[in-house]
Amino acid sequence: MATSRPVLCGSIAGRPGRFGVAMHSAAFRALGLDYAYVAFGCEDTAGAVTGMRALGLRGLGVTMPHKQTIAAFLDDLAPDARAIGAVNTVVNDGGRLVGHNVDWAGAIEAFREVGLEPRGLNAAVVGAGGGARAIAYGLVQAGACVRIFNRDPARGRDVADALDCIYAGPPEEVACSGPLDLLVHATPVGFHDPDTMLPLAGALRDGVCVFDAVPMPIETRLLREARARGCRTIAGVRMQLHQAARQFELYTGRAAPLAVMAQALANAIAQPGG
């Protein structure tokens, strides 16, 4: 079996980011682990998995556009990844590549850290991709009533049927779909574009908590408008922090130093371009 020194972990994305590198590297240093972390930008999912096998990478974070295509190239899926239908973490267990999904856990922890307990909430999840599926899964598992909104009805219904949710129409219908406690935006709209958002303004009202899963920019247009209308807001990087902590634990078998990772994330955000 291929191995490396230091033990190599990393991530694959269409556009590599700095935050995962910052958080994992800081955590490795804090615990004195001989590990390193590299962010890769690539479009070739199969090639990335082949490289992971050939080079003996211990762990790999997975994001757009690979979350739903990578499963076909792995040896097995953990129950959460199988139920969600998307993978955001791959662990190399002695040459056997197992796909996990810890996005859902990161999202639920991001809600709970601001005092938002999902049980009993009326939640609207906008999107039908890997991130939306993971968050909807986590909310259902935590006892929320979840409605899915997506422009493509077939994809929306597929998510709803798979995860025991309700498909309620396109994003424009969130505002008139019934009681709302939590609005989750989980589409690529607004990613690296602070001036765009879906037509969700009608749902932004006092008492609604708004979570935008888009990690960059930190302050999306949706979050700005939500705050201006009296909503509580949660930035996507909070989910990124908590899912990174879960990944760290899968890779190392050690408890994640969350405070260290949070500070590394804050430092990375404060840097130019963060």
Which residue in this structure is represented by tokens 């191995």? 3
Q: List residues bridging with 167 in a β-sheet.
A: 148
Whether 101 contacts 81, CB under 8 Å:
yes
The separation between CA 264 and the C-alpha centre of its own chain, rounded to angstroms, equals 18
- Give the single-character DSSP code of 172: G
CB-based contacts of 50, cutoff 8 Å, min separation 6: 73
Inter-CA distances, 32 with 26, 79, 259, 264, Å: 10, 31, 16, 16
Compute the distance between CA of residue 186 and CA of residue 237 in angstroms, rounded to an integer: 13
- Of the residues 24, 58, 66, 67, which is catalytic? 67
Q: Is 67 a catalytic residue?
A: yes
SS3 content of the chain, % helix, strand, coil (to 5): 40, 20, 40
Whether 252 contacts 33, CB under 8 Å:
yes
Inter-CA distances, 165 with 67, 133, 194, 200, Å: 21, 10, 30, 20
Closest to 102 in 3D by CA, of 75, 84, 119, 118: 84
Catalytically annotated residues: 67
